[in-house]
Structure 1
Amino acid sequence: MSPCAGTSCLPLRPLSVTRCWRPRLESSLNPQSDITILSEAGMWRHYEALLRVCRNRGVPVVQCRLNFTRRIAAAAAKLRPGGLFSCVGDLGRLLRLLVGSSRIVVAGIAPFGVWGVLLWWLRQRNRLVYHSSWIDWRRGRVPRNRNSGILERVWGHTLSGVEAVGVTAKAAGELSDFGADPIPIPHSVDVERFRPGPENASRARPAALFVGRLVPQKGVSLILEVAAHLHSEGVDVEFWFAGEGPLEKQLAESRDAGLPLTILGHLDAVGLADVYRKAELLILPSIAERGWEELFGIALVEAFASGLPVIASDCVGPREIVDPERTGLLIPQGDAQALERAVKRLLADEPLRRKMAGECRREAETVYSVEVVAARWTDVLDRTSRQRLGSDRAGGSDARSR
């Protein structure tokens, strides 16, 4: 059965989120406010709840992606002029931001890069909210190492006392160490779009779903190893892959060699939600490497909303999102045998899957829904809109940069 049939074809524990939550202030965010979202990767799904707040308040939002070099190279390689025009548009938005003032700027930029100078400049003229999922900054587990004392001081000065949002409790703690005023707010999921399928739906073969980039650090090769072994044992399961990346060719070769794989490619939100409803479980066996770790895992909360138990490796994001034995199973990173055991266990135990499915849906509705997360963003933006401009609030340049 095609998982895309009929379609148009990617926590925090509640206590972690609410532990340091502050009382809601009287709203001061209004249509006269002006919010700019800066992001290197352009993953606007990370800001779905924030955009919902702005839409409900009638607040204009400008979105600007900063990964110009990568996008220009990709557009040139694929002969897509639209990509070049998009870069020109973002460059114009950035230039207008540089000469403007009194905006709220929400910046999702990886630490210790040269963009820190941009954040420092913007803070002098605007109200800055720094948004981060990064952890272990001082141990070099960030994309850009601390190879410049000047840049490190710039980042320390910029973050000192700034309003900040950490995607996980651990990320928020890291921001606190650098002098920011952080609060944990997870990414959100649209629980109306991502919802469980009918319980009595008939499936020709149970499917284990992977959603994400098809790259080694996402554990794709690990899934292939498990798929091959289960196939040799006669275990009736199919593996679905939703996403794009350099390992797509390897997947196609394995499929052509007889493994029960379905390669779905990139799916829009409607097609992706439909695929979640047709699968039995989600697999996310990410493997940390220098400069990268699974810091959240939006696929996990999308699976929760879809009533799908998850199997994930014990990276920092899944550790905070998945409650073992309640909403899914955690396995050691890179452990193919543990992944195989987990897949077999969930496939063989339908009562456990159903129980986990209910818990997953409740978790999505109470912790990760757009409405719940939007309320937290509302408080952050209301506080930020009351602040004086950054140059009046900045602490000493080395107050927290150590």
Structure 2
Amino acid sequence: MSDKITIFHEYGEPYHYIGLARLTSNKEIIYREFSTLRLIHKALKKKNCQGLYKAIKDFLYFVLCFLFPVVLKNKIIVIGIAPLDYRVIFFNRVLKYSHVIYHTSWTDWSGNFYPKKNKFFKNKIKNAWFYFFNFRVKHIAAVTDIVKDSISSNWALPREKITTVYHAFDGNVFNLDNAMPIEERNGITFVGRLVQNKGIGNLLEIAKNNPTHSFTIVGEGELADMIVNSKLNNISYAGYISSKIELANIFKRNKYIFLPSIKNENWEELFGMVLPEAMACGCIPVCTDHSGPKIILGHTKLQRLIFKENEFNEAVNSVLEMSNEDSILLFDEAVKVSQHFEAKIISERWKKILCNINQLPN
């Protein structure tokens, strides 16, 4: 049995694997980013010596593994690679002797829309993916049940080969410790990219129409200037915050987390961790009816706070006027529902996968 787990990812996002990390506290987890040439170029452009060193190191590592795939014999590899990425041809050799877990959050495997556009050798690449799924991957870790259903039905993969793992948050950070009582909270927070599809325009309109409520906006993006130039006295723009502790402190003093996302033909709000993290700190979620929020809030008392996009602004007014009794009820439900996504719970889902590939005892 390997004493290490290696994660191959295009850009690397350790926080996506916090549930796995909780389970494998006695193992070393190594992160390898395989978009090495792009990362080398980016590091040179920004004169980032540390980033350059890491990218070159990963490049040489993948060259070694391609030439001698036996170096990964019996190693546990978790790989996150976008659907129909041509580099799967490379990984079919690299992962020849490994215990492979494929990790994906992509919801539509029907072929209607894939993130990677392959103008050439489409059939060859698709065949390489078929080979990857059937002869390299031992198990698939799907972020939601929608992902599981789609990949199983469209690629004729047995459902028992796929486990839904969601994402996870760190309960040691996101919790009610030192949180303001719900009765004393009045504010609304938004955390995310500051772009049109995130509903920033609607958020500013709501803030303008509710001057007695404070709004804390966290994030960065092309509409940051719109927030600053709004000059609304009840808006506090915090910019991008990397510290999870600082983010948790913002949640702990706000009453609501708003997610007024707007769909287009290529995007909708998927399953993310902002809602569960905020809910664990006592924020009441108010969202538009996208697949991500519906997965988190559906079949709970909180589903009444999911609104159609064209009804969101008006619906918010009634939400902000709810009684203290309703607020306490929804506060309790938010904290309760969030715990389904706490790292120690999600780690059990990863444990089933590792048991499946005979890397942990049952």
Which TM class, normalised by the smaller chain length? Answer: 0.7 to 0.9
- 2:240 is matched by which residue type in structure 1? H
Q: Which residue matches 2:343?
A: 370
1:129 touches 1:164 (CA, 8 Å); kept in 2? yes
1:189 touches 1:364 (CA, 8 Å); kept in 2? no
* Higher RCO (C-alpha 8 Å, min separation 6): 1
Q: Which residue matches 1:44?
A: 14
The offset of 1:313, in angstroms, is 2.1
Identity level (%)? 24
1:311 touches 1:342 (CA, 8 Å); kept in 2? no
Q: Which residue matches 1:212?
A: 192
**Are 1:383 and 2:356 an aligned pair?**
yes
The offset of 1:72, in angstroms, is 4.2
> 5 Å matches for 1:33-182?
33-55=3-25, 58-68=26-36, 71-98=39-66, 99=68, 100-101=71-72, 102-145=74-117, 147=119, 148-160=122-134, 162-177=138-153, 178-180=155-157, 181-182=161-162
Distance (Å, rounded) in 2 between the aligned partners of 1:96 and 1:292 = 37
Structure 2: tracts of 5 or more residues without a match: none
Q: Which residue matches 1:10?
A: none
1:262-290 superposed Cα distances (whole Å, 9 cap, x missing partner): 11122201101101101111112223345
Distance (Å, rounded) in 2 between the aligned partners of 1:210 and 1:145 = 32
The offset of 1:113, in angstroms, is 1.2
Aligned length: 343
In structure 2, the CA distance between the partners of 1:377 and 1:149, relative to structure 1 (3 Å rule), is same
Match 1:198 to one of 177, 180, 184:
180
- 2:212 is matched by which residue type in structure 1? D
Distance (Å, rounded) in 2 between the aligned partners of 1:144 and 1:293 = 18
Worse-matched range after superposition: 44-53 or 289-298? 289-298
Q: Which residue matches 2:222?
A: 246
**1:311 match: secondary structure:** strand
In structure 2, the CA distance between the partners of 1:324 and 1:346, relative to structure 1 (3 Å rule), is farther
The offset of 1:386, in angstroms, is 5.5
Q: Which residue matches 2:333?
A: 359
**Are 1:319 and 2:294 an aligned pair?**
yes
User: What is the RMSD computed on CA atoms of the aligned residues?
Assistant: 2.5
1:7-49 superposed Cα distances (whole Å, 9 cap, x missing partner): xxxxxxxxxxxxxxxxxxxxxxx5x333111122422111001
Q: Which residue matches 1:340?
A: 313
Q: Which residue matches 1:224?
A: 204
Structure 1: tracts of 5 or more residues without a match: 1-29, 388-402
1:108 touches 1:132 (CA, 8 Å); kept in 2? yes
2:163 touches 2:349 (CA, 8 Å); kept in 1? no
Distance (Å, rounded) in 1 between the aligned partners of 2:87 and 2:265 = 21
In structure 2, the CA distance between the partners of 1:115 and 1:237, relative to structure 1 (3 Å rule), is farther
Distance (Å, rounded) in 1 between the aligned partners of 2:199 and 2:22 = 33
In structure 2, the CA distance between the partners of 1:200 and 1:143, relative to structure 1 (3 Å rule), is closer
Distance (Å, rounded) in 1 between the aligned partners of 2:344 and 2:215 = 32
The offset of 1:67, in angstroms, is 3.6
**Are 1:276 and 2:276 an aligned pair?**
no
Q: Which residue matches 2:237?
A: 263
Q: Which residue matches 1:303?
A: 278
With the length of structure 2 as denominator, give the TM-score of the two structures: 0.86
- 1:211 is matched by which residue type in structure 2? V
In structure 2, the CA distance between the partners of 1:304 and 1:93, relative to structure 1 (3 Å rule), is farther
Distance (Å, rounded) in 1 between the aligned partners of 2:132 and 2:291 = 26
